[in-house]
Amino acid sequence: MISINSLTVSYTKKRKVINDLSLALEGGNIHGIVGLNGAGKTTLLRTLYGLLKPDSGTITLSGNSISKKQIGYLPTENFFYSNITGSEYLNLFRNRAFEIEKWNKLFGLPLEELIDNYSSGMKKKLALLGVLKLDKPVMILDEPFNGLDIETGRILRSVLLQLKKTGKLIIVTSHILETLTNLCDCIHHIENGIIDITIQKPEFEAYEKQLFAKIENQSEKLISDLGISN
Amino acid sequence: MVNGILKIRAKQLVRQLEGIGIFRFLFLLGLSAFLFYIIFMQLGQSPNHYYISAGYGLLILSIHLQRSDKQFLKIIITHTQKVYYSEYLVLSIPLILSIVYYKLWIDLLLIFLMILIAGFINFTPRVTNKHNRFIRLIPDDSYEWKSGVRKSFVGIIFILIAGVGGNFFFEAAIPIAILVLSLIVINFYQTGESEIFLIIKETGVNQFLKGKIIEFIIQFTMLVTPLVLLFILFYPEYWFIPFVELLMIYFVFIYVVLLKYAFYIPNEKLIASQTLSAIGALSLLLPFMLPVTWLLSVRFYYKSLSNLKPYLYDFD
C-alpha cells in the first residue's frame, strides 16, 4: 500500500500545486486520478515517482520510503532519443524474461524502424511497452490512453486488468472520466492540489452524472452568452 | 515578417548567451577573438586563404542542410531565401570584411556563391536505418552513438577512407582523421535524453557518469583502432603520436560528458553544453587550452552530481 501523508509540493513559494494531500492507495487495485487541467495530477505523480521533491509530507510503500526501484512510470509526453529504433529503445529496459515479440503482437509496432517515423499513438504504445517490460510492483501511468486508437485502448485496459490480478498497484490519470470508470477500482478527484473526494466502483455512475450535471450547469450561462444561434 | 524572424533569432542568441553565464561568455569571446585572429593572419597567405574560404563555404552549406526549420519558414514566409541570406550574411560579416581587407575577390565570390546555393536547398536529408548492420555492433546502452553514427554515417566513412588513403602519402593524414572524428563524435552528446533513459540504468550518479565516460572512450577507441594500427605500421618511428593524441582526446571526452550532465535538461538540445563544448574542441586544436578543460571538468563534475541527483538518488 502507498501512503501519502500531508504532502505539499510547490514550484514557487506563492503557489502550492499539491496542498497538504493525504491518500492511501491499496495494492492489487487500479486507482484513477481525475481532475481538470492544472489540478495537480502530473505533479502528484512526479512526486510519487521521486522526480519532484516535496516541501513537506511523506510517501511510503508498505511502511518504507518509496523508491524508483519499485515503480514503472509512464510520463504524459513521451520523448525518445532521435535516430534510434523502437527495438533499441526497448533493449534499454533490462528484463530478459520479457518477450518483446509476443507483447508486440498486441501493439503491432514496427520495432526495426526509427522512432522518429512513428505516429504519436505509436510512440505512446512504445513507451507503454517499456513500462510493461520493467515489470515493477507499482505502475504510474500518466494519461496512458492519450493518442491511442480505440483497439489499443481496449487492449491496454485488458492488460492492466490482468496485471492488477498479479497484485500490482496501478495508478492511472486521465482528464476523460469515461476511460477511468470502466477500468479503475476507485477514483480520486483532485482539485486545487487536494483529493477532495474518493469514489468506489459502485458509486461511479452516480458520481459521473453528478459531475457532468455540475459542469453543464456552470457552463450553461457562459455558452448562452456566446450568442450561438441557427 | 523577415524582420520578425531575425528578431526571434536575436532573442534566441541572447537566451543562449544568458544560459552560459557572463564569465564563460567572456572566455568564449576571448577564444573566438583568438581564433579569428589566426584565421585573419592565414587569410594573408596563399594558398591558405583558399582553404579557409572553401572550408567556410562548406560550413555554411552543412549548417543549411542540417537546419530543421525549413518547413516552418516555408509555411510563414513566401521567400525563405531572404531569411537564409540575411542570417548567413550576418554570420559571415567578420570573414567578409577580412576578405575585403586583403582584396581576395575570388574568395569573396566563392563565399557569396555558396550562400546563394545554400538558400535554394529546400530539403533536410533524412536519417535512415539503412546501415543497421554496422549500428548493431554498437551496444544498446550507447544510444548517443547509435543515433550519432546513423546521422553522420557518410561523413564518418568518408573520413575513415580519407585517413587510410592519405596515410600512403603523408604521415599527418591519420592523426588529422582521428582529430576530425573526435570533433564529430563530441556532437553526439549535445541533446538531453528523456529522464527515463537515465533512471532505467538503475545506477547511482557516480557510477552513471563513470559508465558514460568509459562507454564514450571505448566506442571511440574501437572506431579509430584500425587507423592507429595502420599508422604504426607505416610510421613506426612516430608510434607515440596517436597515443598522445588519443590521451588528449579522452580528456576532452571526459569534459564533454561532464559538461552534458552539468547542464542536463530532459528532452532538450543543451544550448549551454553545445556552446561550451567549443572549448573542448578548441583544446584539441590548441593543446595549451587543455588545462582549462581539466579545471572545468572538475567544476562540471560537481555540477553534474547535483543536477542528476533528483533522477538517480534512489540508486546511490
Q: What is the mean pLDDT of chain A?
A: 90
pTM for the complete prediction?
0.83
pLDDT of the residue at A230:
61
A41 with A49: CB under 8 angstroms?
no
Q: Cα distance from A125 to chain B (closest Cα, Å)? A: 15
What are residue A218's DSSP bridge partners? none
pLDDT of the residue at B139:
92
Among the listed ranges B1-10, B109-118, B203-212, which one has the minimum average pLDDT value?
A: B1-10
Q: Cell numbers 567556410 correspond to what residue?
A: B56
pLDDT over 90 at A211, yes or no: no
pLDDT over 90 at B132, yes or no: no
Q: Using CA atoms, how far apart are residues B196 and A73, in angstroms rounded to an integer?
A: 8
Mean pLDDT of B89-112: 93
* B220-252 burial code (b ≥16 CB/10 A, e <16): beebbeebbebbbeebeeeeebbeebbebbbbb
Q: Which residues of A touch B (CB under 8 A)?
A: 50-53, 67-69, 73, 75, 77-85, 88-89, 91-94, 112-114, 116, 127, 130, 134
Residue B298's pLDDT band, with cuts at 50, 70 and 90, is very high
Determine the residue of chain B that is closest to A113 in CA distance. Answer: B129
pLDDT of the residue at A50:
92
Q: Using CA atoms, how far apart are residues B177 and B213, in angstroms rounded to an integer?
A: 22
User: Which domains, from first to last, does chain A contain?
Assistant: 2-79+136-224 (3.40.50.300)
Any chain A CB within 8 A of the CB of B314? Answer: yes
Among the listed ranges A114-123, B186-195, B235-244, B263-272, which one has the minimum average pLDDT value?
A: B263-272
Any chain A CB within 8 A of the CB of B93? Answer: no
Measure CB to CB from residue A51 to each of B141, B191, B310 and give the nearest one: B310
Contacts of B241 (CB under 8 A, 6+ apart): B175, B231, B235
Contact A92 B140 (CB under 8 A): yes
pLDDT of the residue at B73:
86
Q: Cα distance from B315 to chain A (closest Cα, Å)? A: 8
- State what percent of residues in chain B have pLDDT above 90: 57
- State what percent of residues in chain B have pLDDT above 70: 99
Mean pLDDT of B30-48: 88
pLDDT in tens, A10-61: 988 788 899 899 999 999 999 999 988 888 999 999 999 999 999 999 999 9
Contacts of B147 in chain A (CB under 8 A): 81-84
Query: What is residue B140's three-state secondary structure?
Result: coil
Q: How many CA atoms lie within 13 A of A88 on its CB side?
A: 27
Determine the residue of chain A that is closest to B312 in CA distance. Answer: A68
Amino acid identity, position B292: V
Q: For residues B201, A70, A79 and B6, what is the CA-based torsion angle, rounded to 10 degrees? A: -90
